[in-house]
């Protein structure tokens, strides 16, 4: 106990300190409380909503963990129309959500690039440029990132999945290079986006030291936004049986993710951190627990119910029978129960982004 408390009191954590804090579940409540204090001081207790639009499950990649990987023949593929995406983005804007997130399987063919560019222009036009738009559409070229930025997107999420190249290569086909992932993330930052990344927590063979290095990677790369959550096996993927008895370890997996979120908050202080849906998949109160461990962003799904079944990245993804209205009502209730406020009609930008560009 004393060692845990001594470390928590420090202003700067060494790599060993981080490893220790992540590995000790016994005193984790103290860690969560400290992370919450830091969050209150640096970003406040407003929770910002991002309306998540899952625009397509068509994907050119074959990531071993992901339910919408190209090789999964057991799902029906869908692609929302331009009108549907724009309508959802406007719904999110009018509902007072700080921004919409356009997420989908990875494609880089010219037709797709044009399609997204047109969608962005339409959303920007219909909201007089006032709606925040975040993209989560994988690795693209500098030209594509720039075109999408000019069309109205201003934030981009690209998880590195793991900062350990060996783990990265273990969970991706040989054609996917860790170096390309990092290069893409740097391009996003260079183009001028508020830049988000993240990892999966609790991957096979991932150690506490790996997770500490993930956090140090975020810090070294001056990341503005983090979205990370527990790894959850999907039954139709090569990693379906990565663990013998995942159900029995689900709560531990969740708590590990919460500790990594908490340490990230204490170290990165003024960034935005999402309380991911994967937390909620392991516990119906997972996202609220994420907020109390230092996260300040929630991405309510605004995709129509009929498409949700087709976007199961992992097993047990919640909200399958909800629509955007019922998601909103359920979330409002549970967030108020945590004592936090919802930052309606605010963009809720990452304060870190402005510090970063000021110091350039």
**Residues binding ligand 5AD (CB under 6 A):** 65-66, 159, 161, 200, 229, 231-232, 234, 278, 313-314
Report, in Å, the least distance between residue 341 CB and ligand 5AD: 27
User: How distant, in Å, are the alpha carbons of 19, 62, 90, 162 from that of 206?
Assistant: 12, 20, 40, 9
Report, in Å, the least distance between residue 53 CB and ligand 5AD: 13
State CA 1 to chain mean position distance: 32
Q: Which is nearer to ligand 5AD, 253 or 327 (CB)?
A: 253
Residue 4, exposed/middle/buried by CB under 10 A (0-12, 13-18, 19+)?
Answer: middle
Report, in Å, the least distance between residue 313 CB and ligand 5AD: 4
Q: Which is nearer to ligand 5AD, 262 or 313 (CB)?
A: 313
Report, in Å, the least distance between residue 360 CB and ligand 5AD: 28
Report, in Å, the least distance between residue 278 CB and ligand 5AD: 5
Q: Which is nearer to ligand 5AD, 35 or 281 (CB)?
A: 281
Report, in Å, the least distance between residue 225 CB and ligand 5AD: 13
Distance CA 119, CA 125 (A): 10
Q: Which is nearer to ligand 5AD, 196 or 343 (CB)?
A: 196
Q: Which is nearer to ligand 5AD, 34 or 287 (CB)?
A: 287
Report, in Å, the least distance between residue 248 CB and ligand 5AD: 17
Q: Which is nearer to ligand 5AD, 36 or 314 (CB)?
A: 314
Residue whose CB is nearest to ligand 5AD in the complex, by number: 314
The CA-based diameter of the chain, rounded to the nearest angstrom, is 59
- How many other β-carbons are positioned within 10 Å of the β-carbon of residue 78? 17
Q: Across-strand partners of 342? A: 47
Q: Which is nearer to ligand 5AD, 85 or 278 (CB)?
A: 278
């Amino acid at each position: 106990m004393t060692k845990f408390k001594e470390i928590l009191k420090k202003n700067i954590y060494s790599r060993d300190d981080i490893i220790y804090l992540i590995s000790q579940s016994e005193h984790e409540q103290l860690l969560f409380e400290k992370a919450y204090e830091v969050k209150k001081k640096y970003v406040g207790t407003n929770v910002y909503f991002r309306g998540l639009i899952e625009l397509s499950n068509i994907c050119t990649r074959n990531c071993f963990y992901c339910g919408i990987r190209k090789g999964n023949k057991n799902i029906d593929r869908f692609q929302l129309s331009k009108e549907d995406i724009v309508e959802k983005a406007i719904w999110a804007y009018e509902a007072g959500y700080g921004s919409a997130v356009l997420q989908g399987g990875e494609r880089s063919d010219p037709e797709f690039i044009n399609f997204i560019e047109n969608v962005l222009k339409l959303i920007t036009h219909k909201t007089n440029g006032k709606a925040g738009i975040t993209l989560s559409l994988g690795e693209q070229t500098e030209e594509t990132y720039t075109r999408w930025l000019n069309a109205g997107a201003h934030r981009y999420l690209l998880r590195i999945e793991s900062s350990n190249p060996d783990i990265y290569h273990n969970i991706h086909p040989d054609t996917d290079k860790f170096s390309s992932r990092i290069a893409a993330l740097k391009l996003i930052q260079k183009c001028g986006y508020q830049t988000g990344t993240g990892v999966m927590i609790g991957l096979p063979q991932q150690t506490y030291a790996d997770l500490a290095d993930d956090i140090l990677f975020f810090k070294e790369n001056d990341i503005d936004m983090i979205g990370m959550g527990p790894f959850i096996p999907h039954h139709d993927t090569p990693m379906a049986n990565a663990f013998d008895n995942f159900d029995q370890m689900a709560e531990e997996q969740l708590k590990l993710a919460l500790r990594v979120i908490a340490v990230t908050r204490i170290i990165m202080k003024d960034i935005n951190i999402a309380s991911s849906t994967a937390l909620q998949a392991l516990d119906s109160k997972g996202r609220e627990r994420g907020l109390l461990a230092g996260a300040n962003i929630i991405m309510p799904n605004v995709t129509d119910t009929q498409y949700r079944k087709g976007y199961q990245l992992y097993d047990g993804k919640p909200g399958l029978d909800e629509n955007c209205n019922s998601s909103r009502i359920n979330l409002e209730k549970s967030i108020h129960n945590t004592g936090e406020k919802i930052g309606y009609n605010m963009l809720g930008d990452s304060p870190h982004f402005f510090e970063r560009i000021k110091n350039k």
